[in-house]
Amino acid sequence: MAKQYETVIGLEVHVELATKTKIFCSCSTEFGGAPNTHTCPVCTGMPGSLPVLNKQVVEYAMAIGLATNCEITRVCKFDRKNYFYPDNPQNYQISQLYLPIARNGYVEIQTGEVKKKIRIHEMHMEEDAGKLIHDEWDDTSLVDYNRSGVPLVEIVSEPDMRSADEVIAYLEKLRTIIQYLGASDCKLQEGSMRADVNLSVREAGTTEFGTRTEMKNLNSFKAIARAIEGERARQIELLSEGKKVIQETRRWDDNKESSYAMRSKEDAQDYRYFPEPDLVPVIIGDEWIQKIKKLQPEMRDEKLERYKKEFDIPQYDAEILTASKAMADLFEAASAICRNPKKVSNWLMVETMRLLKEHDMEPEEIIFTPEHLAQLVQLTENGIINSSVAKEVFEKIFTENADPAEYVEKHGLKTVNDEGELLKVLQKVIAGNPQAVVDYKGGKEKALGALVGQTMKAMKGKADPGMVNKKLRELLK
């Protein structure tokens, strides 16, 4: 019988912080921009330049540390990590090894019905590298330092995960926490959240860890899941053939769905860390920690409970509404304007979720304003438009943030509330559909539906279907 293997996974998650400026200089962190426009002597490693720490980086890092139940290091320092690579202008990266800002934390994840704690070993602050663009024409690479010096925190977990599902749950949990804190937008595609996967396998039942590999270049949840499956299979195959797993860094190619070793004689992986002499220690007192704790916004779990209580929203709905900060913010803002949280929730739960899925979008990418959603709710509630018109309007809101009142006005979509006109149309419909009238009177409820439909059609959808129904029943009595 084939041996059973268990997968052991630990994660190194890099998160770009949402500061306005870089970690050690006053250059903008804005994404995009022509190459090297967001650079200065500091973030391009010019001789004679010196780093000065951005205070907001420390505060975001502290907030993330506290929200993930870490101990905050009271005297924390920066170290230099030395390695040569063109995206790293000084050929050393300012990072933290010996005294990282936070240690010994955990987050709780849930997969199916099972809850589990994933421990965080440590979390440190560091600078991001520049970007390399490979020029296929003349076999060279082009270096852009716009991203060089953008602040990162690296969150290093313990090897506590056992499956791709747990890994995704852990990443989603981290992402929710960090987004709620406003410390990062955590977009995997844009690289503002990146995960390296450390994976090993061992025979089920054993307690010793196997040899692990580190997998890099994973830029979507799907790629992470595929890479985990691929690496697990590769290692098991090696072991069952009696071969050994080599401790190495591998690069995942998501198109080929396979990985390759990034080995080279020139990459000795000996980083010669030593304390950064150009920066002074960061000393964090109780007062500062209290201040950061006070600034901490309502986190997801609290929000979820509050929604259930305050708005009488069911558990499942509250979970969806709070799953992303963007959605929760939209919900709260729109509800505050129209004072109808139930309807707002309904629009977000049904139509918004449907359209997100259809457009393959994340809630963070929603473009419409809470004002427009609130207006739509009001228009419907006040009977100015009916629900089918509302759906049409909402699509416009979703895709182009259309102003609903304006849109309804412009396209003449208001429900007609003129009873005289309605009666005229109803009489025409009754006269034109004698068979349906007979059927209804004979007890066939369905026939009424047909008459309502005919009426709505005749009125180009602008009637209130409830009203049409009521009037028809009266006329056919």
Residues 110, 111, 112, CA angle at the centre, nearest 5°? 115
Does 463 bind another protein (CB under 8 A)? Our answer is: no
Rank residues 36 and 211 by Cβ distance to another protein and give the closer one: 36
Give the count of alpha carbons within 13 A of 412, CB side only. 2
Tell me, what DSSP letter sits at residue 68? Answer: T
The helix (run of H) or strand (run of E) holding residue 192 is none
Least Å from the CB of residue 95 to another protein: 13
Least Å from the CB of residue 37 to another protein: 5
Rank residues 233 and 283 by Cβ distance to another protein and give the closer one: 283
Rank residues 54 and 386 by Cβ distance to another protein and give the closer one: 54
| Helices 446-458 and 419-432, axial angle in degrees (round to 10) | 120
Does 64 bind another protein (CB under 8 A)? Our answer is: no
Does 117 bind another protein (CB under 8 A)? Our answer is: no
Query: How many residues at the interface with another protein, by CB under 8 A?
Result: 70
Rank residues 8 and 27 by Cβ distance to another protein and give the closer one: 27
| Those residues with Cβ within 8 angstroms of residue 177's Cβ, 6 or more apart along the chain or in another chain | 64, 67, 68, 107, 299, 300
Does 203 bind another protein (CB under 8 A)? Our answer is: no
For residue 371, the one-letter residue type is E
Rank residues 92 and 307 by Cβ distance to another protein and give the closer one: 92
Q: How far apart are CA 329 and CA 343, in angstroms?
A: 15
Least Å from the CB of residue 290 to another protein: 16
CB atoms within 10 A of CB 245: 18
Does 258 bind another protein (CB under 8 A)? Our answer is: no
Does 251 bind another protein (CB under 8 A)? Our answer is: yes
Tell me, what DSSP letter sits at residue 363? Answer: G
Rank residues 150 and 397 by Cβ distance to another protein and give the closer one: 150
Least Å from the CB of residue 341 to another protein: 35
Tokens of 307: 């929604």
Whether 348 and 307 have beta carbons less than 8 Å apart is answered as no
Least Å from the CB of residue 50 to another protein: 5
Binding to another protein (CB under 8 A) within 129-188 occurs at 132-135, 139-145
For residue 98, the one-letter residue type is Y
* Of the residues 9, 15, 51, 215, which one makes contact with another protein according to CB under 8 A: 51
Rank residues 87 and 305 by Cβ distance to another protein and give the closer one: 87
* Dihedral sign, Cα of residue 358, residue 359, residue 360, residue 361: negative
Radius of gyration of the chain (CA): 29
Least Å from the CB of residue 91 to another protein: 4
Does 246 bind another protein (CB under 8 A)? Our answer is: no
* Of the residues 4, 207, 256, 265, which one makes contact with another protein according to CB under 8 A: 265
x/- site string to another protein, residues 11 to 50, per CB under 8 A?
--------xxx---xxxx-----xxxxxxxx--xxxxxxx
Binding to another protein (CB under 8 A) within 268-307 occurs at 268, 270, 272-275, 277-283
Q: How many residues does the chain have?
A: 477
Q: How far apart are CA 14 and CA 336, in angstroms?
A: 35
Does 336 bind another protein (CB under 8 A)? Our answer is: no
Q: Which long-range contacts (CB under 8 A, 24 or more apart) does 232-239 make?
A: 232/5, 232/7, 232/199, 232/201, 234/259, 235/199, 235/200, 235/201, 235/210, 236/5, 236/201, 239/5, 239/201, 239/210
By the criterion CB under 8 A, which residues form the site for another protein? 19-21, 25-28, 34-41, 44-58, 75, 77, 80, 82, 84-87, 89-92, 132-135, 139-145, 251, 262, 265-266, 268, 270, 272-275, 277-283
